[in-house]
Amino acid sequence: MAAIIAQESAPRVGHDIVASARTEWFKVLAWRIGIVAVGLTLWETASGRWVKPFWISSPSAIWAQLMAWVDSGDLWMHVEITMIETILGFVFGAVSGIGVGLALGLNKRLAAVLDPFIIAFYSLPKIALAPLFILWFGVGLLSKVVLATFVVFFLVFYNTYAGTLAVEQELVDVLRLMGASRWQIVRKVILPSVLLWIFTGMKISVPYALIGAVVGEMMASNKGLGYLIQASAGQYDTAGVFAALFVLMLIATGLHEMLKQSEKLMLRWKEDST
Amino acid sequence: MTPLIEYRGIARRFTTRRGTVTACENVDLTVNDGEFLAIVGPSGCGKSTLLNMAAGLLQPSAGAVFYRGAPVSEPNTRVGYMTQRDTLLPWRSVEDNVAIALELRGEDRATRIGTAHNWLHRVGLKGFETAFPSQLSGGMRRRVSMARTLAYEPETILMDEPFGALDAQLRLVMHDELLKLWAATRTTMVFVTHDLTEAITLADRVAVFSARPGRIRAIETVDLPRPRDVFRIRFDPRFGELHDKLWGYLEESVRDGVMVG
């Protein structure tokens, strides 16, 4: 299919299009690098001259702080803790969210009964539960994992459930007429069409898993990037706050990118030929 | 010929926010084994409703539908249904879409892919076996739907304005293909359309419905010889006579429809 389209449209100008697309990409990249360079230079220049380093620190000081943490091995320890909390929270939350979402989606009676409770919990800002979880599960890893799980669960659950409601009845009917059993309809129509919704839910919940873990750490903990931010701020160490935020940003971007790639792989059929 | 589908005293009412709407009433109609029956009527006259009842997806408010003498009370697995809207599974390749009914029956992969390829070739889609529906044009997707419906050889095929969304030329091509495939299988066909020309071109008998509430105005046998040349049959004098006669019934319905709607 792709080959046919390529033959129709590409023969003479194809190469030029590829080449100009590449040039365009290089231009975009050059602009991005330029923006970062100018931004960092301005920041470095402003710091100490126009604005006190106490407020904005400086790129060089932040870099020095980062290197110091790397050398002492502190950085890895904190990153590891935050990552474990985030990933565990994400996995537990996503698995339970998908499970409960499908269970309610396939069982209308149960869904009708539980609806008001679900809405009530869904509307609650989950972060507000952090003190309670710390009270219950202590200042260690568990309370953060539970908080992240809770946040992720509702996002994934709600998307999964909405997905089951959005399954096109006509698709189901066509298969019923072909003699499909209930289970076959679930497997061949409902699950694949809900998959897109599940992915959306998972994708939006990744940053929230991180938020859950970090907020938990900021409230009560002695490890993790949230703790690092909180502790640095407590010591008026602006460079430390920025350094920890920078690492957090890298992690969040990395997670997002990973999920985007896996979604692309799983939902190949979504791509259009045009 | 024995009646395959029998509608007896059918009425169907729908409750909406603005009150009760009667889609059709007093419908008595039989579909014979192996025939090609077309149902023509203005939009909203309950034509699709009749197909849904034969498929067992909808129960009548009054009367009963019988399939081979037995009342239809649950999804009727002896009919294949090709709806107006696309019901291909977007996450499946074309061949896996066509093969799905065989897959549900538990046929092994080699058999079902073989059958799917055979039908895809017959509807002119050789080379598109592994494409996804989103990569095909509207006309190609219709062909896939047709192949999918024919591939598992249901006893009866219900078609609800299957070519309604295609342009006039493409429709003729599809009519040609449909008639050729039908000549080879002789499956019973119930074909719903609002286009009288399409109905006469394809069918053995044409039932004309009135505007809502839909009732049967006339049933006419189309005595045009087969095989028919769908590209030229419109200019056949007998075609013209049938068209004039049936248009007489339909025109009233269409005018009524305008008055009501």
Which tens digit of pLDDT belongs to each residue from A205-236? 988 999 999 999 999 888 999 999 999 999 99
Q: Pairing state of beta strands B205-209 and B216-221?
A: antiparallel
Kindly report the nearest CA distance between residue A267 and chain B, in angstroms.
8
Q: Which of chain B's residues have a Cβ under 8 Å away from the Cβ of A179?
A: 77, 101, 104-105
Q: Pairing state of beta strands B205-209 and B36-40?
A: parallel
Report CA-CA distances (Å) from A83 to A149, A215, A249, A273, B57.
13, 13, 13, 38, 51
Q: Which residue has the higher pLDDT, B16 or A88?
A: A88
For residues B186-203, b (16+ Cβ closer than 10 Å) or e, as one string? ebbbbbbbbebbbbbbbb
Question: Percent of chain B at pLDDT above 70?
Answer: 97
CB A130 within 8 A of CB A145: no
Residue of A nearest to B127 (CA): A1
Residue A1 is predicted with a pLDDT of 43
Subunit contact B134:A273, Cβ cutoff 8 A: yes
Q: Pairing state of beta strands B19-32 and B3-16?
A: antiparallel
Subunit contact B134:A272, Cβ cutoff 8 A: yes
Look up the CATH architecture of domain A59-270.
Answer: Orthogonal Bundle (1.10)
Question: Percent of chain A at pLDDT above 90?
Answer: 67
Question: Which residue from B131, B143, B95 is spatially nearest to A272, judged by alpha carbons?
Answer: B131
Question: CA-CA distance, A166 to A118, in Å (whole number)?
Answer: 18
Question: CA-CA distance, B78 to B156, in Å (whole number)?
Answer: 7
Q: Which of chain B's residues have a Cβ under 8 Å away from the Cβ of A182?
A: none
Question: CA-CA distance, B60 to B27, in Å (whole number)?
Answer: 11
Model's pTM, two decimal places? 0.78
Is the pLDDT assigned to residue A3 strictly greater than 50?
no
Q: Which of chain B's residues have a Cβ under 8 Å away from the Cβ of A177?
A: 55, 57, 75-77, 79-81, 154
In the structure encoding, which two tokens stand for residue A40, read together? Answer: 């960092």
- The residues on B that touch A, with CB distances below 8 Å, are 55, 57, 75-77, 79-81, 83, 85, 87, 89-93, 100-101, 103-105, 127-128, 130-135, 152, 154
**pLDDT mean across residues, chain A:** 88
Question: Which residue from B50, B47, B54, B10 is spatially nearest to B210, judged by alpha carbons?
Answer: B47
Subunit contact B104:A179, Cβ cutoff 8 A: yes
In the structure encoding, which two tokens stand for residue A173, read together? Answer: 């009917």
Residue A13 is predicted with a pLDDT of 56
Which tens digit of pLDDT belongs to each residue from A111-148? 899 989 988 988 889 889 999 999 999 989 999 999 99
Q: Letter for the amino acid at A194?
A: V
- Which residues 2-41 of chain A have a CB within 8 Å of chain B? 4
Which tens digit of pLDDT belongs to each residue from A65-110? 999 999 999 999 999 999 999 999 999 999 999 999 999 999 989 9
CB A241 within 8 A of CB A232: yes
Residue A27 is predicted with a pLDDT of 93
Nearest to A273 among B101, B127, B135 (CB): B135
- State the ipTM, two decimals: 0.87
CB A220 within 8 A of CB A262: no
CB B128 within 8 A of CB A1: yes
Rounded to 10°, the helix A59-72/A14-46 angle is 90
Provide CB contacts within 8 A for B239, sequence distance 6+. B200, B201, B224, B233
pLDDT band at B40 (very low <50, low <70, confident <90, very high): very high
Q: Pairing state of beta strands B188-193 and B36-40?
A: parallel
